[in-house]
Amino acid sequence: MYSYMKSPRFNAIAESQKRKSIAIEEKGRRSELFGINVFNGKKMLQYLTKDALESLKGAMVSGSKIDRKIADQVAEAIKGWAITMGATHYTHWFQPLTGSTAEKHDAFFDLLPDGTALEKFGGGQLVQQEPDASSFPSGGIRNTFEARGYTAWDPSSPAFIYGTTLCIPTIFVSYTGEALDNKAPLLRALGAVDDAATAVAKYFDKTVTKVNATLGWEQEYFLIDKALAHSRPDIMMTGRTLVGETPAKGQQLDDHYFGVIPSRVLSFMSDLEKECTKLGIPVKTRHNEVAPNQFELAPVFEEANLAIDHNLLLMDVMDKIADKHQLKVLFHEKPFAGINGSGKHNNWSLATDTGVNLLSPGSTPMKNLQFLTFFINTIKAVDSYEELLRSSIASAGNDHRLGANEAPPAIFSIFVGSQLSNVLDELEGVSKGKLSPEEKTELKLNVVGKIPEILMDNTDRNRTSPFAFTGNKFEMRGVGAKMNCSKPMTILNTIVAKQLRDFKKEVDVLIDKKSLKKDEAVFNVLREYIKTSKRIRFDGDGYSTDWENEAKRRKLSNNKNTPEALEVLTSKNSIALFESMNVMSEIEVSARQEVDLENYIMHLQIEGRVYNELVYGYIMPAALEYQNKLIKNVSGLKEIYGAAHKKFSEGQLTMIEEIAEHVVGIKKMVDAMADARKKANSLKDTKKKAEAYCHNVKPYFVEIRMHSDKLEKLMDNNLWPLTKYRELLFIQ
């Protein structure tokens, strides 16, 4: 007999109800805590010599190489600071192609020949290490027996102390020089967009010497009690619920969004923000999201490379702080069916070293011409490479989220708002070639000059747009909550760099060969870009069938699943783009496609196995036990009433039949799914295997879930073995 008192589900519920929020002491101002565990500019001034400081700043700003003697000085300074902060170990902190971070800790410890112990950390340990590369995904770049790989210091992202370990942000490359991580291609893309954007910015301000891509991510996540999470094998193994009947109350009342933050959650958030502040992560915003038990955290904008490092560090800190508060963080893009999933909106812009946001309209026609130049070139870049940008957000988890419950669709389009659309339409009518003085005046006063007046109206939200202009930045909304932002940011900055480089070439030709003035040349090129990229602009509802048909007419891609979305990575166009911008070689691109496909396969394979475990170990035994109780009840009624028992047991008999149907159905589906998995696993080609999992294995998940959820509705609540949605989502 399934005991109510011994049920892991009810034990977990009882345990969760005993929880109390932990009091978090917050003394002093945030500004005083900010960056105390980071080797930032203030620490550099304190610990570095003048030569070392200048060399390090040069490496951070321009990427110049640091001399080995200087590296030794920097290492000694960082070691001295770290030891005073209680650090005992150091690690090269890098981003392998797993999507998360990796680290190997070494102690500040060595022995002299005479046996004397000392703390040691030199330039060699700072600049380079040699972790085993064979155990990380490489997509075929490295063989299993070829273990050598190198981590190399990234001076543009400051070292920090986490616990008792000094963490040094690094890139990760193979023995033969190919990038085995997500950071190296990102840094190359950021360098490319810096060069291209700086060259174009000089049309408007000769003093600009550098342009940084900036990023502000918005991290969405779910929080549930740790005991409840541990009671669900699917959550622990896959990060999401594979089965679960939708509760009577979900998010339909919109009462959670921006509501009062529950006390345990607020305590977690306060503790998290305190740790983030010490680590230099500039967290600023916190609030309830739309779905129950869903929340969001957002920082101040930063340079893109640093922002991504901070996001990866944040996710690790969130896990540790949540554990302290007896909570479990769910980063999966769709942990619960029927309610909103979690994204990580990437707010992207370009900023000059003179302090100007290139995507922010200005107070003069000249500043607005600069704004329009970068605004229209970004639109053109996305139009040219929309399918490639879609590939950057492809994953097994995100496939569940895109196109559902307010998440953007898989079709890439750009929302700019009706006001800016009108401006672009007016610019489209600019005369080709030289402009008359009257046309120039009218253009600058009536079109370019009026942009600041419409900014307030232009920032209206379109929640279904995958790529929206929101006043002074573009917001890429399709990025999944669990993702490393490096992938979409590498592609976005690469395509914008390519587009700006092409733009400058076209403008210079008109100036040099057609004798057009700079403004006229810029207007002429922008005019053509507005015409040729018109298809990507869409201000309507991305969910509608009409939009799907319209997108097809516009020849926009609609790659709804990961295998389809990743196909474009190795097209001739994509390879040419990455190679021409020196961001990735063909080998590196192919490797990433292979890794992403393998990752997709592994996720679905694990989910398939967990389904098998849930059905045979939990759902069917409980269903059969309840069915036996009903059969016993009917037998008892028959003993008492004989043939007349049917009028008293009609309901029970119907339920017995319904349970039997779903038990038979769920068993058939699980067994068929297992067979489909075996067939898929026998395929050697990774692309074909991924497609087999997508089209032949994954569809069974829907059928298995349907039977399970029907059984959950039919059965005695006390006998259902898995913690229910109403308990996962509404127990605070």
Phi-psi region of 26 (alpha: psi -120 to 50; beta: other; left: phi over 0): beta
Picking from 143, 178, 213, the residue at the C-terminal end of a domain is 178
Q: Is 518 inside a domain boundary?
A: yes
Q: What are phi and psi of 680, to 5 degrees?
A: -65, -45
For residue 159, what pLDDT band results from cuts at 50, 70 and 90? very high
pLDDT at 2: 42
Taking the C-alpha atoms of residue 227 and residue 156, their distance in angstroms, rounded to an integer, is 41
Taking the C-alpha atoms of residue 311 and residue 345, their distance in angstroms, rounded to an integer, is 12
Average pLDDT over residues 689-717: 97
Picking from 178, 198, 224, the residue at the C-terminal end of a domain is 178
pLDDT at 546: 85
Average pLDDT over residues 452-468: 68
Shared domain check, 197 and 127: no
Cβ atoms 263, 21 nearer than 8 A: yes
pLDDT at 646: 79
For residue 323, what pLDDT band results from cuts at 50, 70 and 90? very high
CATH number at residue 115: 3.10.20.70
Q: Is 101 inside a domain boundary?
A: yes
Q: Is 25 inside a domain boundary?
A: no
Average pLDDT over residues 81-92: 93
Q: Is 183 inside a domain boundary?
A: no
pLDDT at 462: 61
Number of domains in the chain: 3
For residue 454, what pLDDT band results from cuts at 50, 70 and 90? low
Taking the C-alpha atoms of residue 546 and residue 184, their distance in angstroms, rounded to an integer, is 41
* Secondary structure string (H, E, C) spanning 165-228: EEEEEEEEEECCCCECECHHHHHHHHHHHHHHHHHHHCCCCCCCCCEEEEEEEEEEEEEEEHHH
Check residues 439 and 238 and name the one with the higher pLDDT. 238
b/e map of 568-598 (b: 16 or more CB within 10 Å)? bbeeeebbebbeebebbbeebbbbbbbbbbb
Shared domain check, 152 and 287: no
Shared domain check, 466 and 609: no
Instruction: Tell me which range, 228-242, 279-293, 540-554, 648-662, is most confidently predicted by mean pLDDT.
Output: 228-242
Per-residue pLDDT of 424-446, as tens digits, reads 999 988 888 888 888 888 888 78
Is the pLDDT assigned to residue 234 strictly greater than 60?
Answer: yes
Shared domain check, 246 and 149: no
Per-residue pLDDT of 570-596, as tens digits, reads 999 999 999 999 999 999 999 999 999
Cβ atoms 524, 510 nearer than 8 A: yes
pLDDT at 61: 76
Per-residue pLDDT of 595-635, as tens digits, reads 999 999 999 999 999 999 999 999 999 999 999 999 999 98
* Residue 726 CB neighbours (<10 A): 16
Is the pLDDT assigned to residue 481 strictly greater than 70?
Answer: yes
Per-residue pLDDT of 493-524, as tens digits, reads 999 999 999 999 999 999 998 889 999 999 99
Shared domain check, 693 and 636: yes
Shared domain check, 558 and 434: yes
Shared domain check, 206 and 153: no
Q: Which helix (H) or strand (E) holds 469?
A: strand 467-469
Question: Rounded to a whole number, what is the distance in angstroms from the first to the last CA of the chain?
Answer: 30
pLDDT at 227: 95
pLDDT at 411: 93
Average pLDDT over residues 669-691: 97
Q: Is 682 inside a domain boundary?
A: yes
pLDDT at 115: 74
What the block records as the tokens of 465 is 């747009």
Percent of the chain surpassing pLDDT 90: 65
Average pLDDT over residues 56-84: 84
Shared domain check, 263 and 114: no
Q: Is 99 inside a domain boundary?
A: yes
Shared domain check, 310 and 168: no
CATH number at residue 326: 3.30.590.10
Picking from 178, 213, 234, the residue at the C-terminal end of a domain is 178
pLDDT at 380: 98
Q: Specify the length of the chain in residues.
A: 732
pLDDT at 540: 78
pLDDT at 4: 46
pLDDT at 3: 45
**608: Cα within 13 Å, side-chain hemisphere:** 26
Least confident of 193-207, 218-232, 464-478, 681-695: 464-478
Least confident of 42-56, 142-156, 196-210, 541-555: 142-156
pLDDT at 326: 96
Is the pLDDT assigned to residue 94 strictly greater than 60?
Answer: yes
Range of the domain at 167: 33-178
Is the pLDDT assigned to residue 143 strictly greater than 70?
Answer: no
* Residue 612 CB neighbours (<10 A): 16
Least confident of 227-241, 310-324, 457-471: 457-471
Instruction: Tell me which range, 226-235, 435-444, 547-556, is most confidently predicted by mean pLDDT.
Output: 226-235
pLDDT at 126: 85
Per-residue pLDDT of 263-311, as tens digits, reads 999 999 999 999 999 999 999 998 889 899 999 999 999 999 999 999 9
Shared domain check, 554 and 440: yes
Give 3-state DSSP helix, strand, coil % of the chain, rounded to 5.
55, 15, 35
Shared domain check, 377 and 442: yes
Instruction: Tell me which range, 50-64, 132-146, 509-523, is most confidently predicted by mean pLDDT.
Output: 509-523
pLDDT at 455: 61
For residue 404, what pLDDT band results from cuts at 50, 70 and 90? confident
Check residues 662 and 367 and name the one with the higher pLDDT. 662
Taking the C-alpha atoms of residue 470 and residue 375, their distance in angstroms, rounded to an integer, is 12
Q: Is 91 inside a domain boundary?
A: yes
Average pLDDT over residues 222-236: 96
CATH number at residue 666: 1.20.120.1560
Average pLDDT of the chain? 90
Shared domain check, 432 and 395: yes
pLDDT at 353: 95
Q: Is 17 inside a domain boundary?
A: no
For residue 1, what pLDDT band results from cuts at 50, 70 and 90? very low
**What is the DSSP annotation of 498-519?**
HHHHHHHHHHHHHHHHS---HH
pLDDT at 643: 81
Is the pLDDT assigned to residue 90 strictly greater than 80?
Answer: yes
